[in-house]
């Protein structure tokens, strides 16, 4: 998978056109699916799409002073997707369903302020506030949906227009409260930002389910990347997927962003959703982040422990960085440059996990060329040619670890030996399979020029330079 966007793209409306132009190249480098950014109207044109205004406006109507989104028009998006399908590349849309921004008019209703650090604790009496919770979407004029959003479709907001006060407001109503099936951080992490959608409200559930079916048909989507699910009622997510799949088929894909480095929480979520939803392997990302900053003081043998890819490989989307972790973003935890080749070597060549390459690492950030593209091209090529067959792990030394893939019968010359070092130059004896005996292997990242011959026992002593990645294949 490739995450085809980053946070600092120009607001020129030319991104869908670029996506179309890149379709063949993506196919050539082995990308079989892409995650595209929120493609609907946000509160302002330059927004990345996460400050969502109208889910039904895919860059088609004059709303918020613009027809197009930051990325382009609906027609340009459809053209890009049509082109991607020529190359059998699946498309997953980023679905932002936690909140809405950019309300058109204010409404008055009762609310209580809560403690931002403990949302279960009220810090004011109930009183009337005035907030931007009214949505008519006049520019769309009821096309695709005539649903109008009101204050009672939300459970929280953060701005009282009447006294210009910013706070976390819990909206009061008959039986209304924060959703229970959300993360427990800050007491109850239902509220994240803007107008928090009430996923316990029957009208909301119906409307969002309808949108899910509509947009996946309208754009012929293959799946969703579900944004901010730790802030959304888990039962809603489970039923939403059921509903969309009843229309699009059981293979309709979904990966959720549950941003938590804590493995136990993710495990609970996977069990609760019965494995019908993949999750990003955030624990693995944080290990990479920590490893990249600790240098030789990070124990590489700990890599496989308590990660999704080890415990729930079928549900793990492995990644190195994304638009939120990149420098300057909300969840900043960017993996340091020297470690990126090691991190990508791990996720692209190991057997398990659904690896996701970040646009910023391949195409660059803010128009600057990425220094990692060369190594990524090498690794993507290696993934297609060599990374097959049985895997053998050698996570047995704090500063030098490795693994091998023995190759298979279908792909001639397949098989690979991978080493990662965060310390000194080193070597490791690893087994690549009896059938490789006598073969001459070489290293393809350009780090080592020596060649080696696989022994009669199917093993060889593979070399690695300090702080580098080494990828050995048959010459």
Beta bridge partners of 175: none
Site string for Ca ion, 72-101 (x = CB under 5 A): --------------------------x---
Q: H-type helices in 67-145, by residue range?
A: 74-86
From the centroid of its chain, how far is CA 237? 16
- Comparing CB distances to Ca ion, the nearer of 201 and 231 is 231
CA distances from 170 to 116, 120, 134, 183, 431 (A): 11, 10, 17, 17, 59
300 SS3 class: helix
Q: How far is the CB of 279 from Ca ion (least distance, A)?
A: 18
Judged by CB under 5 A, which of 22, 47, 190, 198 binds Ca ion?
A: 190
227 is catalytic: yes
Options 6, 57, 196, 227, the catalytic residue: 227
Using CB under 5 A as the binding criterion, the count of chain residues that bind Ca ion stands at 4
| Distance between CA atoms of residues 174 and 257, nearest Å | 31
Indicate the helix (H) or strand (E) that contains 283.
helix 282-294
Query: Residue 227 interacts with Ca ion (CB under 5 A)?
Result: no
The DSSP-derived string for 177-211 is ---SSS--TTS-TT--SSEEE-TT-HHHHHHHHHH
Do β-strands 195-197 and 223-226 pair in parallel, antiparallel, or remain unpaired?
unpaired
Angle (CA) 274 275 281, round 5°: 135
- Comparing CB distances to Ca ion, the nearer of 186 and 392 is 186
Q: How far is the CB of 162 from Ca ion (least distance, A)?
A: 24
- Of residues 99-128, those binding Ca ion (CB under 5 A): none
Query: Residue 198 interacts with Ca ion (CB under 5 A)?
Result: no
- Of residues 26-45, those binding Ca ion (CB under 5 A): none
- Of the chain, the end-to-end C-alpha distance in Å amounts to 28
Query: Residue 196 interacts with Ca ion (CB under 5 A)?
Result: yes
Q: Kindly provide the residue ranges of all beta strands, DSSP E only, lying in 96-179, ordered along the sequence.
A: 99-100, 105-115, 118-122, 127-134, 154-160, 165-171
Selection from 102, 112, 101 nearest residue 173 by Cα:
112
- Comparing CB distances to Ca ion, the nearer of 6 and 207 is 207
Options 47, 257, 278, 361, the catalytic residue: 257
- Comparing CB distances to Ca ion, the nearer of 103 and 389 is 103
21 SS3 class: helix
Q: How far is the CB of 97 from Ca ion (least distance, A)?
A: 9
Q: What is the DSSP letter of 66?
A: B
Site string for Ca ion, 348-387 (x = CB under 5 A): ----------------------------------------
Q: How far is the CB of 201 from Ca ion (least distance, A)?
A: 12
- Comparing CB distances to Ca ion, the nearer of 188 and 404 is 188
359 SS3 class: helix
- Of residues 311-340, those binding Ca ion (CB under 5 A): none
Q: How far is the CB of 190 from Ca ion (least distance, A)?
A: 4
| Distance between CA atoms of residues 151 and 153, nearest Å | 5
- Please identify, among the stretches 102-110, 227-235, 328-336, 347-355, the one whose residues bind Ca ion according to the rule CB under 5 A: 227-235
Q: How far is the CB of 232 from Ca ion (least distance, A)?
A: 5
Q: H-type helices in 105-183, by residue range?
A: none
- Phi, psi (deg, nearest 5) at residue 140: -90, -25
- Comparing CB distances to Ca ion, the nearer of 49 and 139 is 49
Judged by CB under 5 A, which of 231, 436, 463, 468 binds Ca ion?
A: 231
- Comparing CB distances to Ca ion, the nearer of 171 and 365 is 171
Q: How far is the CB of 234 from Ca ion (least distance, A)?
A: 11
Binding residues for Ca ion, per CB under 5 A?
98, 190, 196, 231
Catalytic site residues? 227, 257
């Amino acid at each position: 998978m490739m995450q085809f966007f980053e946070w600092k793209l120009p607001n020129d409306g030319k991104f869908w056109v670029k996506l179309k132009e890149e379709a063949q190249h993506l196919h050539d480098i082995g990308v079989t699916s892409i995650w595209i950014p929120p493609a609907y109207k946000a509160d302002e044109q330059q927004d990345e799409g996460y400050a969502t205004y109208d889910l039904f406006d895919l860059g088609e109507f004059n709303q918020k002073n613009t027809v197009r989104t930051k990325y382009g028009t609906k027609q340009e998006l459809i053209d890009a997707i049509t082109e991607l399908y020529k190359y059998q590349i699946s498309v997953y849309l980023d679905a932002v369903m936690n909140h809405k921004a950019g309300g058109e008019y204010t409404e008055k209703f009762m609310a209580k302020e809560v403690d931002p650090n403990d949302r279960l604790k009220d810090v004011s009496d109930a009183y009337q506030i005035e907030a931007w919770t009214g949505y008519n979407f006049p520019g769309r004029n009821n096309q695709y949906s005539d649903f109008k959003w009101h204050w009672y479709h939300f459970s929280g907001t953060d701005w009282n227009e009447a006294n210009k006060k910013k706070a976390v407001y819990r909206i009061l109503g008959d039986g209304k409260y924060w959703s229970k099936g959300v993360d427990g951080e800050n007491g109850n992490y239902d509220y994240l930002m803007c107008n928090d959608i009430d996923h316990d409200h029957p009208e909301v559930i119906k409307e969002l389910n309808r949108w899910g079916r509509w947009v996946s048909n309208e754009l012929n989507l293959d799946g969703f990347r579900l944004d901010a699910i730790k802030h959304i009622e888990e039962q809603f997510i489970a039923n939403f997927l059921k509903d969309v799949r009843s229309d699009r088929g059981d293979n309709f894909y979904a990966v959720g962003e549950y941003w938590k480095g804590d493995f136990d929480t993710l495990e609970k979520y996977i069990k609760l959703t019965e494995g019908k939803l993949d999750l990003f392997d955030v624990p693995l990302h944080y290990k990479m982040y920590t490893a990249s900053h600790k240098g030789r003081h990070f124990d590489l043998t700990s890599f496989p422990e308590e990660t999704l890819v080890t415990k729930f490989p079928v549900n793990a989307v492995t990644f190195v960085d994304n638009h939120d972790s990149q420098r300057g973003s909300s969840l900043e935890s960017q993996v340091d440059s020297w470690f990126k080749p090691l991190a990508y070597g791990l996720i692209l060549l190991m057997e398990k996990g659904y690896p996701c390459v970040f646009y910023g690492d391949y195409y660059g950030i803010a128009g600057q060329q990425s220094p990692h593209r060369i190594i990524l091209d090498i690794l993507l090529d290696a993934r297609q040619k060599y990374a097959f067959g049985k895997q053998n792990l050698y996570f047995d030394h704090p500063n030098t670890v490795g693994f091998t893939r023995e190759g298979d019968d279908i792909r001639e010359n397949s098989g690979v030996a991978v080493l990662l070092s965060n310390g000194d130059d080193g070597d490791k004896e690893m087994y690549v399979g009896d059938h490789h005996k006598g073969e001459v292997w070489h290293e393809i990242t350009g780090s080592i020029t020596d060649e080696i011959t696989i022994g009669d026992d199917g093993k060889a002593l593979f070399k690695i330079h300090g702080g580098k990645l080494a990828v050995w294949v048959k010459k």
